[in-house]
Amino acid sequence: MANYFTENTDLLFQFDRLQLAEVVEIAEQGYTEAAHYDFAPTDYQDALDNYRKVLEIVGDITANTVAPQAAAVDEEGSHFAEGRVTYAAGIQEALKRLTEAELMGFTLPRRYGGLNLPTTIYTMAIEMVSRAEASLMNLFGLQDIAETINKYGTEEQRQEFLPQFASGAATGAMALTEPDAGSDLQAVNMLAYQDDSGQWRLKGVKRFITNGNAEILLVLARSEAGTKDGRGLSLFACYGKDDVKVRRIENKLGIHGSPTCELQFNDTPAQLIGKRKFGLIKYVMDMMNGARLGIAGQALGISQAAYEEALSYAKAREQFGKSIYNIPVITNVLMDMRVTLESDRSLLYAACHWVDLRNKLEEKIESLKAAGKDASAENAKLKEATRAAALLTPMVKYVLSENANKITYDALQVHGGTGYMREFNVERLARDARITNIYEGTSQLQIVAAIGGVINDIFADFFSAREEKENPGNLANLADELKEMRALFLDCLKYVTDKTDKHFQSVAAKELVELYSYLYTGWLLMEEAEQDNRKVFIARRYIINAATKARRNAEAIKKDLFGDLLYADDVLV
Amino acid sequence: MSYHSIVMVKQVPDTANISGQVMKPDGTVNRSKLPTVFNPEDKVALELALQLRDRYGGTVRVVTMGPLKASDLLRDCLYMGADEAFLVSDRRFAGADTLATSYVLAEALRKLSPYDMVFAGRQAIDGDTAQVGPQTAEKLGLPQITYAEGILQAEGSTITVKRKIDKGFEVLEGTLPLLITVIKDAAVPRPFRAKRVMAYKNAHTLLELEKMAEANSLLYADQLKEEYVSKGLFIPTFTADDLDVDLKRCGLGGSPTKVHKIESVVLGASEHETIPANKDGMYALIDKLMEDHIFG
């Protein structure tokens, strides 16, 4: 039987490379959980066995139950009648299966019914779900909402909400966007007030809410009357269904299986999550970072699906007396797709590693502090992990979502006219991919989030250490390319920071972030190439290609490509 | 009222994924070269038993007769939600046809009694005989309902079953205990449950523990067994010594079926015939296919 885990050699390669010992040690509290739960691991090897087995289940369900329904889900879409939203039949079936398989509380603690798995493993599951049916990820991937309650809610709130998520009885939604507050969430207007009894209530409208028909909503609202910015916003949990009115669902280009709702809150009773005024600046930022990693996984899953479609079509399609797979220009396109896919996967799981490490170190430090113990060693590590995660999360979201668009575009191109027809899967994939670089923060906003880490050159030590290593044969040439690329980056960085022009800096940020992503990904692939001969090919194509793009980016900066922005009004007639 | 079920399951060659080398020169199957799967209709039978448990409560136990490798199948059953699993295995049972198989299974079921229902798939995809279920019922003196496509309800000691017949279905009532064989359309098997997979991934049969002991001189099978029993990870195994069986009726010796010859039939394009693309041509094609036993 098909399996999206056991048959995906590159995903297995990344799985086998995982170094989660420190993360799992903390997550399993020194493997003491095994004394209370028969499904908790007894040591690191046992944990890896568990992860592999769980991913095999996901691989089975996604390949055999979800994927065959994807075209039907796209065709049927979600339904909206008499204020109620109904999922497409294929989505309902998929959720039922995932629930039966006990996969809806992936990262939640076991005491609330969850599986207590690391974000890395969850992201691997997200990748497979998205490969099978992109919009299902929007429901499966909303486990971050439960995660936020777990992290910032009270024990009472955890006990109330988390088992509902873990058992699959409830799905979640994060209600942030409003008609006048999209990228700029500081402008959120939804009113939160306390009635005479002290009960918090919500009033206002939210728009473009993914799965807004969910049973449990996390809502960003203005709790501080008279404020205008993000510091007046707090986060609330409330029940959907009867308490929140769905006014309409959107008619979208892609991800048809996930309903996007406009919601009206009419004095809806709600619970404050965490502290007042920290809604946007802390909790939502945190939740969105988790969600961004999920979207990166979604983008990668769609890319994988598109690549598979293109590869099998190219092999089967004959023109000029041979399969087009053997026509060099097509082979070249397929190679580009494959190399992008594998380099994307390296970057994604490197990012996940840092996110897991940061999350678990935070937990450990908290418990050390509570026990009155010294946490200085952990604090130093946490600082490093926090910086890496803060840069890599938006970077990976940016890179993978843009690449998903490129890969699906190319996959459609490989199909020729056939790809433009709805009978084939690839046009759906191209439509589904299009949202990934828009929602959870557009690509432009990911650049804004990533540029700080790039300007501070946070991987400087990592790069220097790599550069000092000896590399054999072909890899030595590639290392030289990366060294040159770094010199180029440092030169550009100095140029941009020296030029104290904020507008210029904001525009050049894209070029800098991209340069930095080439460097970091390039070194990751070098590491893999040392392990596996086949990966030398991946590293080679990636790095040579990246080097040419790096030179382009550097020239754009140094030759003042953006200088004409000052004359925008004259150009944009 | 709750019900106690036993499901008879079988591990079969994955006939959808057959590679070379699976046929030995003597015409028998080289099982070690074959990937194996959960016999599809047995999996549906387990699903039906689990659904019955979801609805009325009770227990679901599974039993299989097979070699060491069949331990995988029993773990799969535990992953889906079976309460207990039993392996029936002995070299003396090897080479059994349906008569000898149902004889041993019937004896194993006697060991596992009492029960209210025995479920089995209609047939296995390797032999396609559909005989083991009915023969087992016969030996145990149980009433049987074959070709079940659903259980409508159970009340007291009466069960109402929808049964597939040639041109539709019939609804039958049966008195418990009884045996039911299940067809593929009866249900969609549930996925493995993540927590159970993690909990039971190290559950082992006695045969597996013996193998572990053989491979490591520091381990002893009886100690391992004790350890696995204490962890709740032991899958009991019945050998011929554990069952009241007459060895003459077991295994190859107890099997009257003799394989005369196995041929590899290759449908080659030795000749071709053009059939006109009209109504008469279509009928002629259908007749031809019926004649060749490709249809019907």
Q: B191 and A54 in contact by Cβ < 8 A?
A: no
H helix runs in A154-275, sequence order: 155-166
Q: A101 and B198 in contact by Cβ < 8 A?
A: no
HEC string for A61-101: HHHHHHHHHHHHHHHHCCEEECCEEECCHHHHHHHHHHHHC
Q: Between A69 and B35, where is the model more confident?
A: A69
Q: Which of A38, A61, A100 sits opposite B199 (nearest CB)?
A: A38
Q: A57 and B197 in contact by Cβ < 8 A?
A: yes
The nearest CA of chain A is from the CA of B201 a distance in Å of 8
A86 forms beta bridges with A79
Structural domain contains residue A570:
no
Q: At what angle do helices A328-370 and A9-17 cross, to 10 degrees?
A: 30
Whether B68 contacts B207, CB under 8 Å: yes
Domain of residue A253, CATH code:
2.40.110.10
Q: Please check whether residues A237 and A345 belong to one and the same domain.
A: no
Per-residue model confidence (pLDDT) at position B260? 74
**Range of A119's domain?**
1-141
Q: Please check whether residues A58 and A116 belong to one and the same domain.
A: yes
Q: Please check whether residues A292 and A439 belong to one and the same domain.
A: yes
Structural domain contains residue A572:
no
Q: Which of B96, B32, B31, B105 is nearest to B64 (CA)?
A: B105
Q: Tell me the two tokens of residue A499.
A: 């030029």
Q: Please check whether residues A177 and A135 belong to one and the same domain.
A: no
Domain of residue A522, CATH code:
1.20.120
Q: Between B130 and A122, where is the model more confident?
A: A122
pLDDT band at B125 (very low <50, low <70, confident <90, very high): confident
Q: Please check whether residues A91 and A216 belong to one and the same domain.
A: no
Residues found in chain A: 573
pLDDT digits (tens, 9 = 90+) for A477-517: 999 999 999 999 999 999 999 988 888 889 999 999 999 99
Q: Between A177 and B12, where is the model more confident?
A: A177
Distance (Å, whole) CA A279 – CA A275 = 8
Do the strands B84-88 and B168-175 form a parallel or antiparallel pair, or are they unpaired?
A: unpaired
To test the contact with chain B by mutation, choose from A3, A33, A37, A39 the residue with the greatest count of B C-beta atoms within 10 A, namely A39
pLDDT band at B31 (very low <50, low <70, confident <90, very high): low
Q: Please check whether residues A132 and A18 belong to one and the same domain.
A: yes
Residues found in chain B: 296
Q: Tell me the two tokens of residue A282.
A: 């802390």
Per-residue model confidence (pLDDT) at position B133? 85
pLDDT digits (tens, 9 = 90+) for A378-394: 999 999 999 999 999 99
Give the count of domains, chain A: 4
Segment A301-321 shows an average pLDDT of 97
Q: B194 and A97 in contact by Cβ < 8 A?
A: no
Q: Which residues of A are catalytic?
A: 440
Domain coordinates in residue numbering, chain B: 3-254
Q: Please check whether residues A6 and A62 belong to one and the same domain.
A: yes
Least confident of A3-7, A425-429, A561-565: A561-565
Structural domain contains residue A167:
no
Taking 70 as the threshold, does the pLDDT of residue B286 lie above it?
Answer: yes
Q: B168: exposed, middle or buried (C-beta count within 10 Å: 0-12, 13-18, 19+)?
A: exposed
Per-residue model confidence (pLDDT) at position B19? 65
B86 forms beta bridges with B63
Q: Which of B142, B115, B127 is nearest to B41 (CA)?
A: B127
Residue B201: its chain A contacts at CB < 8 A? 49-50, 53
CA distances from B167 to A129, A214, B64, B146, B164 (A): 40, 44, 33, 16, 8
pTM over 0.80: yes
Q: Please check whether residues A342 and A485 belong to one and the same domain.
A: no
Per-residue model confidence (pLDDT) at position B269? 67
Least confident of A370-379, A430-439, B28-37: B28-37
To test the contact with chain A by mutation, choose from B14, B80, B195, B228 the residue with the greatest count of A C-beta atoms within 10 A, namely B195
Chains A & B: contacts with CB separation below 8 Å: 47
Q: Which of A504, A497, A503, A408 is nearest to A455 (CA)?
A: A497
Q: Which of B130, B177, B151, B114 is nearest to B10 (CA)?
A: B130
The nearest CA of chain B is from the CA of A15 a distance in Å of 17
Q: Please check whether residues A267 and A289 belong to one and the same domain.
A: no
Structural domain contains residue A113:
yes
Residue B192: its chain A contacts at CB < 8 A? 57, 60, 101
Structural domain contains residue A573:
no
Q: Which of A267, A320, A263, A302 is nearest to A137 (CA)?
A: A302
Residues in CB range of B241: below 8 A, 6 or more apart: B90
Q: Please check whether residues A293 and A333 belong to one and the same domain.
A: yes
What is the sign of the dihedral through the CA atoms of B74, B75, B77 and B82? positive
Q: Please check whether residues A380 and A440 belong to one and the same domain.
A: yes
pLDDT band at A375 (very low <50, low <70, confident <90, very high): very high
Percent of chain A with pLDDT over 70: 100
Domain of residue A118, CATH code:
1.10.540.10
Segment B258-266 shows an average pLDDT of 72
Neighbours of A54 (CB within 10 A): 27
Judged by a CB distance cut-off of 8 A, whether residue A49 touches chain B is yes
Structural domain contains residue A236:
yes
Per-residue model confidence (pLDDT) at position B25? 66
Structural domain contains residue A149:
no
pLDDT band at B96 (very low <50, low <70, confident <90, very high): confident
Percent of chain A with pLDDT over 90: 95
Q: Indicate the residue among A89, A124, A141 that finishes a domain.
A: A141
The CATH code that applies to domain B3-254 is: 3.40.50.620
Q: Please check whether residues A137 and A188 belong to one and the same domain.
A: no
Q: Indicate the residue among A277, A303, A328 that finishes a domain.
A: A277
Residues in CB range of A160: below 8 A, 6 or more apart: none
